[in-house]
Structure 1
């Protein structure tokens, strides 16, 4: 079973990194990436909060190394992935998992980025409202794609998901 989880995690990291150059959109000092949030939702549902957070961390490191990410990728991706995993774990609803991703990235990740990462680690000031708008747009788009992908995987019999309750 552990081999299957590791394999899924590696595939999701590869997918997130491979899509990154095509989906990375510079907005101010941020580079939003809907593919990250798609991977977060899928990873959170298939593997759980800790695995999804680890996947987001590895993708963030690789995106920064490739120049398709910034330090803002870490709170945005990791907080969203963790909350998506928790929301799915306790609700068994992929839709609530996606909502966890949106709240974690769009609100909490943006707040951490505006008040901690940007000023302390990047030496830049950025308006919280601007980050909430940018991060929310990215995570909403990516989360919708993630939900669609999970529904397709379920229908194809490649992922065994419990029926959603809402």
Structure 2
């Protein structure tokens, strides 16, 4: 999508890492995934502001919900579904603010610039979130997530 080169597997990794490793390590994993994507030519500098917030939001939401909800599966599903919020909402806003000075203030008055990044990531994020959710639910069913809180 435009200059961003969105890729669903990074969002899938965000979901799995956010739940299995927590918010801090999910951010580190997203940074490393972005670096690998850039090195391979499948990503741009937008892999960082587009990927890191998604992993953080999933990890933080999962930590919060496991303390509140009694059903672990519900916490897994809800926290997985927050990845697009982190990627498109938070990541899109960060990208908008980072790009504005580089573009001479051209984005300042145009909310469409935010939508340009967020909409491009949304499709990729939804696909990756669905894949990540399937993986996490499979892990839970196989008791791989047994010791993870």
TM-score by length of 2: 0.81
Alpha-carbon deviation of 1:120? 4.8
Find the partner of 2:141 among 143, 155, 161. 155
Q: Does 1:131 align with 2:113?
A: no
Give the SS at the match of 1:149: helix
TM-score by length of 1: 0.74
Higher RCO structure (Cα 8 Å, ≥6 apart) = 2
Q: Which runs of 4+ in 1 moved over 3 A?
A: 118-126
Aligned residues: 135
Larger radius of gyration: 2
Give the corresponding residue for 1:51: 25
Give the SS at the match of 1:31: coil
Cα distance in 2, alignment partners of residues 144 and 111 from structure 1: 23
Find the partner of 2:82 among 93, 97, 100. 100
Alpha-carbon deviation of 1:150? 0.7
Report if the CA contact (8 A) 1:76-1:135 is conserved. yes
Cα distance in 2, alignment partners of residues 55 and 49 from structure 1: 10
Give the SS at the match of 2:14: helix
The 1:141/1:122 distance shift into structure 2, 3 A limit, reads: farther
